[in-house]
Structure 1
Amino acid sequence: MTSLDFLHSAGLGLATGLALIVAIGAQNAFVLRQGIRGEHIAPIVAVCALSDAVLIAAGVLGTGALITAAPAAVVVLRYVGAAFLVTYGLMAAKRAMRPTSLTAGDTHAHGKGGAAAAITTVLALTWLNPHVYLDIALIGSLASAQGSPLQWWFGAGAMLGSILWFCSLGFGARFLRGFFARPLSWRFLDGGIALTMVALGAGLVLGA
């Protein structure tokens, strides 16, 4: 086993992690919105990356197989997650009906209560999404195919992909602030978030 084998496994894990994460979803939509507003970006990015690291490690350890063997738990998460997504979608729709502009002062309005609420929301969007547990099973099966100890290099690559993505999404969103200085831009963003959340929630229920 050479260093190229380790790099190949890590690169495969990186590509797999990005493929699973880089998609229009509830978590990404929330991180994007917070990034544009400049609100609590660092803790939100940290929570997303750490959560993914824990989930990926669980997949490598074989927890994904246990999850697929307990379909009842996935069903409960499906309906709880669907209810949360629809509720958040309706809140976004309400914001879209009354859009505001983004001013320079808004980027410094970091209230303590707001940070707690933001972290709670992103935790719910991450851990109440039943699809994330299907991703664990997929990552676990791909990692186990690498053999020992390469499966951990695969997992490390997937974790790196998560860190790179959320840092880019959260901290890179500031370049869009000029565009979102207009209320109409927020109407489109929150309207899109509302449609995405409600559609994801409905898809969870209909896919049961």
Structure 2
Amino acid sequence: MDKFTTLTGVAAPLPIVNIDTDMIIPKQFLKTIERTGLARGLFFELRFNEDGSEKPDFVLNQPAYRKAQIIVAGDNFGCGSSREHAPWALLDFGIRCVISTSFADIFYNNCFKNGILPIRVTPEQLEKLMDDAERGANATLTVDLEAQEIRGPDGGTIAFDVDPFRKHCLLEGLDDIGLTLQKAESIAAYEAKTATARPWA
């Protein structure tokens, strides 16, 4: 998993409430267990017409936001069914941070496990960040995980909270497998001891 330290990137405004995981990545894209190639399916029904052509009004199809790395979204982002493909699709597109007033718990947890930082802010803070994000090519935010700050294009700063353990994992680029591998020597020693003490096992 890639480390998340400081991210400076274009923020795309997505002022929609209750964006569920089926909107993020529809069910027809769930046939794979690969984490790559899912960017095409991200917000598929919002991004594309039935004939496959792009919907020019959708934010991520607009030139200023095609390479957005941050999404500023409405309340209750990531609700609906549990599917890890949702953060996979966001990450494959290039999104490393989602900012909202609230997230569904399973989606929120899955983000941290896949290198995406979900940030909860107040409604007032979201309104300010949404305004910043609506500036098009000038909609650049800096998310500093170490300092736990979001810095806007006008120099304003918003502080945010994050669980210390999850912060550590993102800063170090540690997913569940990475955390386990940190204990590789202890695990190997235990297995060797067990093999000697219980050779029949």
TM-score when normalising by structure 2 = 0.22
Q: Looking at both structures, which has the greater relative contact order when contacts are Cα pairs under 8 Å and sequence separation is at least 6? A: 1
Based on CA coordinates, which of the two structures has the bigger radius of gyration? 2
TM-score when normalising by structure 1 = 0.22
Greater helix percent: which structure?
1
Greater strand percent: which structure?
2
